[in-house]
């Protein structure tokens, strides 16, 4: 079946460090891929998305490229800030618009 | 302002009680969803609805019930049959546009605790 696997956290970084959060997926066909962010005590907000192979989603300095050959959608940011501290979820949707989520990766950024 | 409103934000339930979580959206979205989030875990789909008066079970529907009498509203009832209901509940919605890339928007969530 369809599934999403994310790297386990927490990921702990100093401010201005480079961030990578790995995400791989298993799906039949060609799903759409998403990154959502959850700040403490809040709901999820869409960070970026890509709907077909080789698409790059980007927002607020974050980027992720839909890699069909490696079934991956890794999240990257060149220079993180303390305000980026949150839980990041990778997700896919396929046909029925139901989202299938990974388990989430907590990012902690220290000054 | 347009958005998804969940209420209450915090709810305490006694053993054996049914409780209902409200979800209202004014985005004219077609589909609505309920997810459950347990600490340190991802989100699991409870129920979803793509049109009024119709809904489908998700991965963990046992012990829950929903209704979709209006396009704007999708309340979730946590019944006494749900053995471990303490969790964070998230409502979501999207406009169905014929492809799988539609963005799904989330409410702020409701915390349910069994006391």
Whether residue B109 lies within 8 A of chain A, CB to CB, comes out as yes
What residues contact residue B8 under an 8 Å CB cut-off, 6+ apart? B21, B22, B110
Tell whether A32 is within 8 A of chain B (Cβ): yes
Partner residue facing A98 (CB), from B4, B48, B99? B48
Q: Do B42 and A89 touch (CB under 8 A)?
A: yes
Which helix (H) or strand (E) element contains residue B86? none
- Partner residue opposite B107 with nearest CB, options A34, A43, A104: A43
Q: What's the confidence (pLDDT) of residue B98? A: 66
pLDDT tens digits, A68-88: 999 999 999 999 999 999 999
B39 inside 8 A of chain A by CB: no
Over 70: is that where the pLDDT of A19 sits? yes
User: Which residue carries 């799988």 as its tokens?
Assistant: B100
Q: Say which residues have a Cβ less than 8 Å from residue B84's Cβ, sequence separation at least 6.
A: none
Considering only CA atoms, which of A103, A48, A99 is closest in space to residue B46?
A99
pLDDT > 80? residue B16: yes
Give the residue on A whose Cα is nearest the Cα of B107.
A43
pLDDT digits (tens, 9 = 90+) for B71-113: 999 999 999 888 889 999 999 999 887 666 788 899 999 999 9
Position B52 scores a pLDDT of 96
């Amino acid at each position: 079946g369809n599934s999403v696997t994310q790297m386990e956290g927490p990921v702990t970084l100093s401010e201005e460090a480079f961030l990578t959060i790995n995400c791989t997926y298993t799906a039949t066909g060609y799903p759409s891929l998403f990154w959502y962010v959850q700040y403490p005590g809040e709901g999820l907000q869409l960070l970026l998305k890509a709907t077909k192979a080789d698409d790059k989603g980007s927002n607020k300095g974050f980027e992720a490229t839909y890699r069909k050959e490696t079934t991956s959608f890794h999240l990257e940011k060149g220079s993180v800030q303390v305000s980026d501290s949150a839980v990041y979820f990778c997700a896919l949707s396929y046909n029925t618009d139901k989202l299938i989520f990974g388990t989430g990766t907590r990012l902690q950024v220290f000054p | 302002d347009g958005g998804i409103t969940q209420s209450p934000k915090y709810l305490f339930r006694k053993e054996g009680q049914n409780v209902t979580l409200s979800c209202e959206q004014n985005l004219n979205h077609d589909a609505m969803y309920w997810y459950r989030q347990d600490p340190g875990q991802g989100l699991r789909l409870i129920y979803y609805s793509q049109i009024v008066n119709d809904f489908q079970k998700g991965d963990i529907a046992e012990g829950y019930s929903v209704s979709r009498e209006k396009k704007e509203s999708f309340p979730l009832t946590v019944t006494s049959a749900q053995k471990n209901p303490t969790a964070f509940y998230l409502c979501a919605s999207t406009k169905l546009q014929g492809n799988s890339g539609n963005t799904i928007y989330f409410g702020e969530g409701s915390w349910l605790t069994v006391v």
